[in-house]
Chains A and B, each alone.
Chain A
């Protein structure tokens, strides 16, 4: 069997498969179905300083080969995440976990990351500067290189854990933002968050999503995500975590060829709760099919056309 281990910012993953934040809760819903320790790691639900209910419903709209969500960072706040959710997570997952953090001010990010920094099980901080579903925060930090850099510096100042900045695709030049984060000290970049999308209900002529717009995800966005991972991975020296529409082991390999060190699986978990498990289990056969002995060796291995 081929070698699936990869090194993400100094921590070894048994395999590069990582369920993405917001599609895997705190792991325990999925632990009802399978042993989630087969995963490389997972990124838990986006955490903010204070508890948030999020947006009104409907928050979900179906699309061709994908879905739109406008959850709006619903979470119980960092103190309850640490006090109530992480103890439950710990019972079903025994590896370093990725903590996903969002905020509405630079200080919010620093506050939340500072608290999560003290949690032993947190391996990486994934700093979300790309949520399209909240106003006055989230994505607004990720659409401007200076703001993204400022958040990165503030977070790096409060933690010794690797900081991975999660970027939005809803920008003109994602490379400049990735470079700004790298220059500000980011240990890694993850991309892409969802693409801003919209659906209208013909009967009522109203948007299906109560918040009008939301984040589009699913297999439909995979080519866009792959292109952006390719662009960013070739422009920065730090590891890149690729995501966006990944649904199969083949998609994982493709993302890695484009330059991803590890790969997050998002919407696929919601429509097939076994999706991440199946990807991990299918990887060895797909590696063998394409003559891959060691996954680490194919990172960025796309050949010039």
Chain B
């Protein structure tokens, strides 16, 4: 609403085959899916997965994408994601791809800071890869509650990011929240995580940045208005006009 831009690319609804589905941390799984990924463009996009026996699809952010595969990292938070965690290699899933606006890389500056909390970590991985490919110096803060929830540290290091892990209980890395580990001299930031973390990042950062939001969705592609929010620039649908919003347009009150 409020001057929604015309669609500039097409989403796709196709069948994917599971080629990996492994537990990587407490209640957290990595699933790699093979299929037509041509609709997936930007880091920060999501895919919407149809599950047998569940009426609504499950929207999950993109962790990584190759020419033939898309990888997601998801947390078991209910019966749907629990059913996903029990699926095995070779099983097929109907998935809507090419959803959401994703992050705008053009504003990153030379030294962008990426801040992911819990299952907000995954979209940071593809974003980091793309920024590194542009020659940026990428620093990453990964926040978790406890050590058994930690994932991704080695993967981010392997592609060339400097990584700081924080845990609330101090069982791994810096004790505290992601905002307790903010470095000096970053040019811009990108973040995804639970809303209290996003608010804390909003208040603790002194540059501009982009935030990825989560909301209960109906369709995931802009038709039902189930996930709308108010912003300084008008009403936005988290699924279609988001999930990424710029710091300057965010209104925190619902």
Which chain A residues lie closer than 8 Å to B55 at the CB level?
A: 62-67, 218, 267, 271
A236 part of interface (Cβ distance < 8 Å) = no
CB-CB under 8 A for A33 and B226, given A64-B55, A271-B50, A271-B57 = no
CA distance A56 to B227 in the complex (A): 9
Known A32-B11, A33-B11, A62-B56; contact A25-B222, beta-carbon cutoff 8 A: yes
Minimum C-beta distance from A35 to chain B (A): 13
- Closest B residue to A64 using CB positions: B55
Q: Is B68 an interface residue (CB 8 A)?
A: no
CB-contact partner of B224 in A71, A76, A84, under 8 A:
A71
Please tell me if the beta carbons of A53 and B218 are within 8 angstroms of each other in the complex.
no
With a cutoff of 8 Å between Cβ atoms, the chain B residues found around residue A76 in the complex are 1-2
A82 within 8 A of B: no
Q: 8 Å CB contacts to A: which residues of B53-110?
A: 54-57, 96
Contact B228 A67 (CB under 8 A): no
In chain B between 193 and 246, which residues have their CB closer than 8 angstroms to a CB of chain A?
215-219, 221-230, 235, 240
| In the bound complex, CA of A66 to CA of B218 (Å) | 11
Report the tally of A-B residue pairs with Cβ distances under 8 A. Answer: 103
Contacts of A69 in B (CB 8 A): 218, 224, 226
- Specify which of B13, B216, B219 lies most central, judged by the most chain A CB atoms within 10 Å of its CB: B219
Q: In the complex where A57-B215, A88-B6 touch, is A29 in contact with B226 (Cβ < 8 A)?
A: no
A269 within 8 A of B: yes
Q: Is the CB of B235 within 8 A of A271?
A: no
Q: Inside 8 A of A33's CB, which chain B residues have their CB? A: 10-11, 13
Those of B31-57 within 8 Å (CB) of chain A: 50, 54-57
- Closest-by-CB residue of B relative to A55 is B228
- Residues in A with CB closer than 8 Å to B6 are 28, 88
| Minimum CB distance partner of B54 in chain A | A62
> When each residue 1-40 of chain A gets 1 if its CB lies under 8 Å from chain B and 0 otherwise, what string results?
0000000000000000000001111001110110000000
Contacting residue for B228 out of A54, A64, A274, CB 8 A:
A54
Residues of B within 8 A of A75 (CB): 1
Interface check B7, CB cutoff 8 A: yes
Q: Are B219 and A270 in contact (CB under 8 A)?
A: yes
| B225-A54 in contact (CB<8A) | yes
B57: chain A residues within 8 A (beta carbon): 271
- A153 part of interface (Cβ distance < 8 Å): no
Q: Can you name 22 A-B residue pairings with CB atoms under 8 Å?
A: A25-B222, A25-B223, A32-B7, A57-B226, A57-B227, A57-B228, A57-B229, A59-B218, A59-B228, A60-B56, A60-B224, A60-B227, A61-B216, A64-B55, A65-B55, A67-B56, A71-B225, A71-B228, A75-B1, A218-B55, A269-B223, A273-B96
3 interchain residue pairs of minimum CB distance:
A270-B219, A60-B226, A58-B216
